[in-house]
Amino acid sequence: MGIVGLGLMGGSLGLDLQALGVVVHGLVRRDAVAERALGRGLASRVGTDPALLQTCGLVVLALPLDLLLQPPPSLMAALPPGALVIDLGSVKAPVLAALQPRLPRFVGCHPMAGTAEAGVDAGQAGLYAGRPWVITPSGQELPADLHLAEALARAVGAVPVRCDAGDHDRAVALVSHLPVLVSAALLLAADEGGDRVAAGFARLLRQLASSGFADTTRVGGGNPALGALMAQGNRDSLLQALALYRLQLDRLTAAVDQQDWQGLRRVLERSADIRPDFL
C-alpha cells in the first residue's frame, strides 16, 4: 500500500496498517521528513521519489486540500494505472470533481478523526478506532472498490458511512468546520477582552480558564493552515452554517438583553436535550 503524506492522518494510518502486517510505502516531499518518518516507523519504506508507489495496489492521498484539488503532475504521473486511489480530504465534492475524471479507480473518503497536532510527529496508533469513515460514492466507482474502501476503514477500527458528497460537505460545515471558527472566535474574544483592561486582568483570565474553556477552544487552537483550507474548500456551506450560528447568537443576546431568563432557560434545556444525539 502507498500513503502520500505522513502527517497526522497518513502517519496514523501507516502505523495501524503496519500493525496488521501491511507493507506501507510512504511518499513525502522532503528528505528530512522521510528520515523522521522512518525513525517513527510510520511506513515500511519512505522516500521523496514518486516511483516508490509503482508496486502499490492501493494508494491513499493523505494530503492538504489544496494539493488534492491541484495535485503535482509528477504525483499524478507516478500513480500506478491499476491502483485504487483513495483520498482523505475534509471536503468531498470539489475533490471528486478534481480527481475522479483523471483516475481510472478513485473513491473519495473522509475519516472523521483528528487532533490539534500536525506534521510528521503527529501520527498516532488507533486514531481511527470507533470513528466514522465517510465514503462518498458518485456512481462512477466499481462496487468492488467501494467495498475495498470500506474494508480499509474497518481494518483500522473505523465505522464506514456512505453518503452523497454534497450532503457530506453541508454536514461537516456544521459539525466540523463551523466549530473551528467558533472556537477561534471564543479564544479571540477572551484575549481581546483581557487586553482592554489592566494587564493583571489578562493574566487572571488565563489563570481562571477551566476545562470547559479548554474543551470549547481545542479545535480553534489547532492547525491554522488546515482551518483556512477547509473554509476555502467548503465556502458556501460554511457561510450557511455561520448564518445559522449568528441567528442563534442573536436569539441568546436578545434573551439576555431583555432579561428573558425563562426563555434563556428553555434554550439551554433544548441544547441539553439534543447534545447526546451528537455524541
Gap between the Cα atoms of 111 and 61, Å rounded: 12
Q: Which domains does the chain have, with CATH numbers?
A: 2-163 (3.40.50.720), 167-278 (1.10.3660.10)
Confidence bin at 231 (pLDDT 50/70/90): very high
Quick check: 194 pLDDT over 80? Answer: no
- Among 31-40, 219-228, 230-239, which is the least confidently predicted range? 219-228
- How high is the pLDDT of residue 197? 62
Quick check: 196 pLDDT over 90? Answer: no
- Report pLDDT digits (tens) over 61-87: 999 999 999 999 999 999 998 999 999
Mean pLDDT for 240-258 is 96
Quick check: 116 pLDDT over 80? Answer: no
Mean pLDDT for 171-195 is 90
Per DSSP, helices labelled H in the chain are: 8-19, 31-40, 65-69, 73-78, 93-99, 143-155, 165-172, 178-195, 199-208, 211-217, 224-233, 235-257, 261-274
Amino acid at 188: L
**And the C-alpha cell for 223?**
492547525
- How high is the pLDDT of residue 118? 85
Gap between the Cα atoms of 76 and 70, Å rounded: 10
The verdict on pTM exceeding 0.85 is yes
Mean pLDDT for 95-112 is 96
